Structure 1
């Protein structure tokens, strides 16, 4: 009611900030240190603190790589660090412990690489508001838990930046982000939807590998140009449709393997390469429409999905790789385009609902187990006038007595007399 006024007169009383990650709204000791770059050690001493005993600290002013070295190597009890109001000064090299330490780039407002590598005591970090980039392995093997907020203005998160930490909360990425390096969040335990800013252009290999607690729909950035192998592999909590953006023309190996998405897969027509196991073990449903520009389709790509209906393979392919379409639920027919010379081992194995296959005139070899256990297969139409070589196990567990092989009229006798096709009882001319 105005009768009393409280005035703080001692600098030993730290400002009470809204820094939940630093003091969690509890009245614990929280050291606030104002310093200049390269002098954090002196500033802590001037505030009458023992740096070996400080647990929770907020730093203001400016710091550089040497100060990060102090925090990492000389503060064994540091558990919570607030750098919200800090400016980072870049240096080419600095003296620490009597030795020169080298920095790869002297840039301001960049978190140095390896700055908290293996800092297991550090469980909480508030990053600077003015930050441009997080260099590789900055928090590799640290002890960070809970949530992580990457501030606006950050354009790049380096390789292995947060690998092997114990996050269990929310990951917040800035709208300014352009690149996330390889293994940046590998095996992180974040429990939240994965909201990728639309401006991201590159996601590195293994970036979110085995982040099983991420959930919701995976929406890839519309400007994504480069995706690394295994980028989302094992993110089993993600569900729904997957739309590949127009800007991405190469799908790397294992990029979406074993995510269990379960929705529909939408591939645009300009994709040229799909590397091995890119979409395997996802339970995708609906028809599979392969890109018209596809020239490279490696093995295991669509294994263990629930695609249905007929589908056509684009004309640019020269072979059907091993296990490419195994364990799928295709119904209807599969047409192999002219130009394909080989159907490799187990390519369509266990596609139990496939009813008809159309083989091109260019085909030379049907390899081991290529159509193993295709129990519903009833028609094979061969366009080649020269009977392709068929591995003796290519059609194992297929009811050959119920299967009709349709061949060119001029090649009917050649098929009937061919050792490769001797097991087929119903060979007729078209």
Structure 2
């Protein structure tokens, strides 16, 4: 009897697996736009898993969206997409059409579809294609080696999409493409990425994202307004040197604790509300190319302690550092006195903040109504304007500072924030260990290179 029960169980399992395999219904579309003629009407409300081969167009996508109400998975990997025109709107070949599986004006998305595999020849994903497909878990986007564009809102509010791998071929990601994907935990960029543009609001409201690394996207130049805003768990975003424009409010209400942008040599403006309300932010280092820090850029960054401004800075906007109550030190090598906007440092006890400036410009800062309120010290900043000389790694050690640079050093000098010389050593090579009087303290380090250039960094 026991053996019979085991045999019966095995047969039932086999039958279940066979039934599951047979549940995927295949449709061969020989004439684009005719999928509706191939699906029996009585299956409109029962069909769950389908595989489509042949050639489809936008009409077939809209048929699935509007008629197949219980679809769970769609496999189009062996299909191609043809161009067509629907009600006066042209749809391109090799493009998943805009609103393919959603009707945004009705707040509708296919809320049973868990898996979608696109044709491998897909070159673009249209605006709002998967908007509000709130149980979508799996896509084959990382396998789409021809994909160049992901449209506005394409995957917005896909509330079960946990991870995404961006193929190297993608050049542009549109506005709000992944906004409010509330369980997304990872977004990976493939090596050799062609990405040039991240749209506005692209990841806005993704509360589970912990870190993003775009360093592989060496062509990335533009990041839109509010791109990462309200990603409340986002602690780090790695950006490539190529970035020259970061939009307003891009990092507001995130968990970023450090912004070391010294390598962003093309960035000339820190836009308004850039880190607004980012209470975790402790350190900011701007590239020497920055000319303006605009309105409320660091408003309410209550943990911000250290700020390195730029050699070319001309303007600090209204409320730029308002509410930065932990501010302890500012390094400002600007050669022309930067204008300071209304209440730029409101709520900051500026008399307790050390402002390190070019020693030759101290009288200029001391005489200014705004800058003169700080505790000003003068230091040697010669060479700091050389924006393309960078320290590869600075590690604070136990009573010593390890420097590793990208070219040969000749001398290293260490100053405190009062401008006092603490240590000076001759160096030959790209590595140096400099003794420090107090472990873990903050210092200004001046490096003289063998080629005659110098650089000032702050730790």
TM-score normalised to structure 1 length: 0.69
Determine the C-alpha separation between the residues in 1 that align with 2:79 and 2:349.
59
Report how far residue 185 of structure 1 moved.
0.7
2:407 corresponds in structure 1 to none
Give the one of 206, 214, 231 matched to 1:211. 206
1:33 corresponds in structure 2 to 27
Higher mean alpha-carbon deviation, 117-126 vs 79-88, is at 117-126
CA gap of 1:222–1:24, structure 2 versus 1, over 3 A, is: farther
Q: Helix, strand or coil: the match of 1:145?
A: coil
Task: Establish whether residue 350 from structure 1 lines up as the match of residue 335 from structure 2.
Answer: no
2:447 corresponds in structure 1 to none
Report how far residue 180 of structure 1 moved.
0.5
Structure 2 gap segments, 5+ residues each: 1-16, 103-107, 357-361, 378-459
2:280 corresponds in structure 1 to 283
Higher mean alpha-carbon deviation, 180-189 vs 273-282, is at 273-282
Q: Which has the larger share of strand?
A: 2
Higher mean alpha-carbon deviation, 328-337 vs 160-169, is at 328-337
Determine the C-alpha separation between the residues in 1 that align with 2:183 and 2:167.
16
Residues 191 and 215 in structure 1, CA contact (< 8 A), matched pair in contact too: no
Give the one of 87, 94, 116 matched to 2:80. 87
* Superposition pairs of residues 262-411 of structure 1, within 5 angstroms: 262-267=257-262, 268-280=264-276, 281=278, 283-286=280-283, 288-303=284-299, 304=301, 306-309=303-306, 311-324=308-321, 326-327=323-324, 329-333=326-330, 335=332, 337=334, 338-347=336-345, 349-350=347-348, 354-356=353-355, 360=364, 366=370, 379=375
1:59 corresponds in structure 2 to 52
Residues 289 and 310 in structure 2, CA contact (< 8 A), matched pair in contact too: no
1:121 corresponds in structure 2 to 111
Structure 1 gap segments, 5+ residues each: 1-22, 95-100, 372-376, 382-430
Larger Cα Rg: Structure 1 or Structure 2?
Answer: 1
Residues 340 and 363 in structure 1, CA contact (< 8 A), matched pair in contact too: no
Q: Provide the aligned length of Structure 1 versus Structure 2.
A: 340
1:102 corresponds in structure 2 to 88
Task: Establish whether residue 259 from structure 1 lines up as the match of residue 254 from structure 2.
Answer: yes
TM-score normalised to structure 2 length: 0.65
Q: Helix, strand or coil: the match of 1:271?
A: coil
**Deviation by residue 1:48-74 (Cα, 9 ceiling, x = unmatched):** 963343222111111111111211112
- RMSD across aligned positions (CA): 3.3
Determine the C-alpha separation between the residues in 1 that align with 2:135 and 2:322.
41
Q: Which has the larger share of helix?
A: 2
Give the one of 228, 231, 235 matched to 2:231. 235
1:136 corresponds in structure 2 to 127
Determine the C-alpha separation between the residues in 2 that align with 1:50 and 1:131.
28
Determine the C-alpha separation between the residues in 2 that align with 1:234 and 1:32.
42
Q: Helix, strand or coil: the match of 1:194?
A: strand
**Deviation by residue 1:331-390 (Cα, 9 ceiling, x = unmatched):** 345548534343421425336751458684698765xxx99xxxxx87369xxxxxxxxx
Determine the C-alpha separation between the residues in 2 that align with 1:212 and 1:316.
34
Determine the C-alpha separation between the residues in 2 that align with 1:24 and 1:343.
72
Residues 168 and 191 in structure 1, CA contact (< 8 A), matched pair in contact too: yes
Determine the C-alpha separation between the residues in 1 that align with 2:341 and 2:242.
30
